[in-house]
Every structure is written in C-alpha cells, then in structure tokens.
Structure 1
Amino acid sequence: MFTPTGRARLREELIAAARCDDDVVGAALVGSAATGREDAWSDIDLVLQIARDVDPDTVAARWTERLYERGAVDHLDVIAGGVLYRVFLLASTLQVDLSFWPEGTFRGTEPGFELLFGTPQPATTPKDPDTGHLIGMGWLHALHARSAIARSRPWQAVMMLDQLRDQVLALACARHGLNPHHGREADRLAEPLLDALGKARAGAVNGAELARSHRALLEASPTKSPGTIRPWRPAWPPRCASWQPSPSTDPRPHLIANAGLRDLDRFSGREPGRSRHSGGEAGEHGQQQQGTGLVQRGVVVAALG
C-alpha cells in the first residue's frame, strides 16, 4: 500500500521531469490535489501540455517507460475529446493519471485546475449529463434484468440490476446538480432515495429475491406526488435533503418505470397484477389503474423530481 509521503515524492519527481522535458511546455494538477480534498486514498492526476510540433503519442510512450521504471505494473488508455489519458497502476496500488494535451487544447475542464507552468487556453465547464442516454440505459437494463430472471440466469440478472441502480443514481445526481461521474457525489443524495435503493438490493441470488429487487428498484420512491419530472438544472445546492417535483412533459422515465414489470409476479410469489402498495389492478401496460401507479412510484421518476 502506498503512503501519502511516497505519493507526494513521486508527484514531485513527475513535475520535475515535466519541467525538464523539452516536449512538455505546460503542466497542471487536477483532481483532489488541486481542490484541497486530497486524502490517504487519492491518486495523482497530472496534465501535460505537449509542444505544437511534437506528436503526443511519442511523448506518451517515453513517459510510459518512465512510469514502469518507477513501479508501474499495468496501464489503461482512455481517449476523451481527442486527448489521451493514460492511467497507470503501480505495484504499491497507487493510481497515476497522465493526460497528454496538444498545445492548443491545454485548458482547465473542471473546477480543480492548478497550473504549474505553461499557458493554458480559456477554461471550459463540464458538459451537462446526457440524461436521455441515462434514461435509455435504465430501461434497457430493466428489460434485460426481467428476461434474465425469467430465463433463470441469476448472475446476469444481478449484473443488470446493479447497472439499473447505477443509472438511477446517476440520474439522481444530475437532477440535483451533483457530479454523476463514477458515483463521485452519490453519497450526497437525499437519504430517502439512498435508503430506498439500499433496500432494493437483492439479499440472495434466487428468482424470487431478484424479482423483488427488480420491482423495488422500479417502484420504491418516497414521493407520493404525480409522475412529473424536473428538467436538468446545473446550479442546484450541493446537498439536497429532499426533492420537490415540478411539471414536465418528458415521458421517458415512464419507460424505465414500466420496463419489465409484467410476468415477474410468479417469481416473487405475489398475486399477478396486484401491487402491495395500493391494491390496484394492473392495466394493459403493467401500470396500476388505482392508487399511486407504477410511474408515480418509480425510483427514476423520484430521482428526476
């Protein structure tokens, strides 16, 4: 296990190497070290500005050799916005993220950007989350969870349910102006939603429990209001103790709330077509005709407002 002292030492070595590299004309720290949130588990995030007439891949290859000389055991490449992010795993389990930016694109793209040297371009703000994509992935995972349960493929169902929950969390973060990427601020969501999602986790890998988990993910919601959703607004307070719905005509969360509820009652041991909440009868599309209705009780509807 790496230590904060060892991490700081390696970071300073990398910064010194960047200053001595003729092909590197700028550098910056990003992530927790640049925002004052660094703790014992933080990694190293170093952004490098590559000279205009130099191939960033050539520089990346040279820096890759340097990292392996310093204890790297593997690395992963991520390309975003035409920029190479090379993520290294060291034998000490320290993660080192190096990104190689062509000179004209070097800039801050998030609140934490500590310039070390060089001349960056004007900073940009992160793009709003693509809620349409999150919603689409939500109903897709809900449908595949249903079919996996029906086909007696419990571990596939577990994976689909986990990914459905991930989409719900990401939508909730987007709804409240929190960072949805990799669950970074999911723990700041309202306790009722987090409690509902916690209870929706399957306690066993069998058909009945997986069906219960599937239904709970789609139904469990602290809101009793109509199935309205709130559009994305990026300037929400940092901590939302509750959410208040506002009208919207966007019907897409209904797709998630209704995805795959039919035909699962026989796996959960419940009377077909009847909700444990309202006692209403299920209609043609699996929605209740009485009571609050599946759409109104959907976690995703609550997440969006």
Structure 2
Amino acid sequence: MFTPTVRARLRGELIEAARADGEVVGAALVGSAATGREDAWSDIDLVLQVRSGVEPEEVADRWTVAFYERHGAAHHLDVVAGGVLYRVFLLASSLQVDVSFWPEDRFRATEPGFAVLFGEPQPSSEPAGLDVSQEVGKAWLYALHSRSAIARGRMWQATMMLDHLRDQLLVLACLRHGLNPHHGREADRLPPSVLDALRHARATTMALPELSRSHQALVRTLIDEVALYDHGLFAKLNAPLGVLSRFDA
C-alpha cells in the first residue's frame, strides 16, 4: 500500500519530468490535490499540455515506458474523452496515477479544481453535462435485460443488470440534486430518503423471487425518478415502465 509521503514524492518527480520534457509546455494538477480534499486514498491526477505539432500519443508512449521502468507500473488503460487521451496507471503499490495529454491549443480547465503548475492554459470551459434522457434510456435498457434474465432463470445476469439499473438510478438522483454523478463521487450526499429507497430495493439473495422483488422495486423507483425529472417524458414512459415492472408472459 502506498503512503501519502510516497505519493507526494512521486508527484514531485512527475512534475519535474514534465518541466524537463521538451515536448510538454504546460502542466496542471486536478482532482483532490487541486481542491484541498486529498486524503490517504487519493490518487495523482496530472494534466500535460503537449507542444503544437507533436502527437499527444507519442508523448504518452514515452511517459508510459518511464512508468514501467522507473515507477513500478503494473498495468494501464486508456480513456479518450473530448479528444483528449487519459492514460491511467496502476502501480504495484496500488496507487492510481492519471496522466492526460492535451494538445497545446486545448489545454484548459474543465472543472473547478485546476492548479496550473506552468504553461498558459486557454480560457476555461464548462464540462459537457450528461444528457438525462440518455441516462433514463440506459436505465430502462438495464431493466429490460434484468426482467428477461430473471424470467429465463439466469441469476448472475439478472444480478448484474439489477446492479447496473441501481447505478443508473444513482446517476439520475445525483443529477436531480446537483451532485457529481461520475463514479458515485457524491452519491453519499444524496438525501436519506433517496438512499433508503435504493437500499431497500437491492436484492439480498440471488433467489429468483428476491431478484424479482428487487427488479419491481427498482423499476418503480425509476418511474418516480422520471416523474420528478420531466412530466413530458413521464407521460411517454409511465405505461411501458409499468409493463416492464411485471413478469406477465
């Protein structure tokens, strides 16, 4: 397990590496370290501004070699969002390090916590919000699959689909209450009445009757959530969601 001291030392080394890299012209910290919320479990979030005319993927690949050779990386994955490459490293110590590689003309703050270390960022922009209608669509899609899995006696598939449905309900509730829905970061701040309903709706066993009960409770919660969000959408979805909550042949 990593310690805050080890994390701070590595962060310092990465910042110095960024300053010494001729193809990196700017850097910033984001996440908990930039907002004063860092604790013993926090990761490292470093944003790099890549010089114009240089491919960010090439810089990322060079940095990746260093992570494996010098910093004890065990694995990594890529996430591309908004045309920006986010490379996420898992170190042997279990420390997560996120390094994003931004084209020079796109380097900017997209969240409140953006502590510039060096370089000239572009004017900040608001991150694109989630499309609530799209998130509702994901929820009823998971509900469709949970219903059919239960009807077919596929307990593990049903359990997975019910978990996804519950996660979508958390996303919708967070959006309605103005909380950050990403990875459940602020789900614990939801009102007790919301969390209690989802807690009671969660299946306590993998027995089919209990999975059926959970499915029905979660779909009813989805109906309530849609009604609170948009009366027009509720008018369209109330009937099919009501049918979806049942297991009629």
Scaled by the length of structure 2, the TM-score of the pair is 0.94
Give 1:77's aligned residue.
Answer: 78
CA shift, 1:64, in A, is 0.4
Instruction: Look up the SS of the partner of 2:244 in the other structure.
Output: coil
Q: Percent identical across equivalent pairs?
A: 62
Contact 1:109-1:124 at 8 Å conserved across structures: yes
Contact 1:135-1:256 at 8 Å conserved across structures: no
Give 1:125's aligned residue.
Answer: 126
CA shift, 1:254, in A, is 2.6
Provide the C-alpha distance between the structure 2 equivalents of 1:29 and 1:118, rounded to a whole number of angstroms: 12
Q: Which amino acid aligns with 2:232?
A: T
Q: Which amino acid aligns with 1:258?
A: G
Matching of residues 92-107 of structure 1 within 5 Å: 92-107=93-108
C-alpha distance 255-13 of structure 1, shift in aligned 2 (>3 A): farther
Provide the C-alpha distance between the structure 1 equivalents of 2:57 and 2:240, rounded to a whole number of angstroms: 42
Provide the C-alpha distance between the structure 2 equivalents of 1:140 and 1:55, rounded to a whole number of angstroms: 38
Give 1:197's aligned residue.
Answer: 198
Matching of residues 202-221 of structure 1 within 5 Å: 202-219=203-220
Structure 1 residues 211-220 or 187-196, which shifts more?
211-220
Provide the C-alpha distance between the structure 2 equivalents of 1:195 and 1:112, rounded to a whole number of angstroms: 31
Contact 1:138-1:167 at 8 Å conserved across structures: yes
CA shift, 1:260, in A, is 2.1
Contact 1:74-1:88 at 8 Å conserved across structures: yes
CA shift, 1:179, in A, is 0.7
Give 1:288's aligned residue.
Answer: none
Instruction: Look up the SS of the partner of 2:126 in the other structure.
Output: coil
The structure whose Rg is larger is: 1
Give 1:145's aligned residue.
Answer: 146
Q: Which has the higher helix share?
A: 2
Structure 1 residues 18-27 or 120-129, which shifts more?
120-129
Q: Which runs of 5+ in 1 are unaligned?
A: 232-247, 267-305
C-alpha distance 256-96 of structure 1, shift in aligned 2 (>3 A): farther
Say which of 238, 242, 248 aligns to 1:258: 242
C-alpha distance 21-256 of structure 1, shift in aligned 2 (>3 A): farther
Contact 1:142-1:259 at 8 Å conserved across structures: no
Matching of residues 1-305 of structure 1 within 5 Å: 1-68=1-68, 69-219=70-220, 228-230=227-229, 248-251=231-234, 254=238, 257-258=241-242, 260-263=244-247
CA shift, 1:227, in A, is 7.7
CA shift, 1:58, in A, is 1.2
Q: Which runs of 5+ in 2 are unaligned?
A: none
Provide the C-alpha distance between the structure 1 equivalents of 2:52 and 2:6, rounded to a whole number of angstroms: 33
Q: Alignment RMSD, CA only?
A: 1.9
Q: Describe the superposition over 1:178-230 as per-residue Cα deviations: whole angstroms up to 9, x where unpaired.
A: 11111111111110110110111111111101001111112359x8xx98433
Q: Which amino acid aligns with 1:8?
A: A
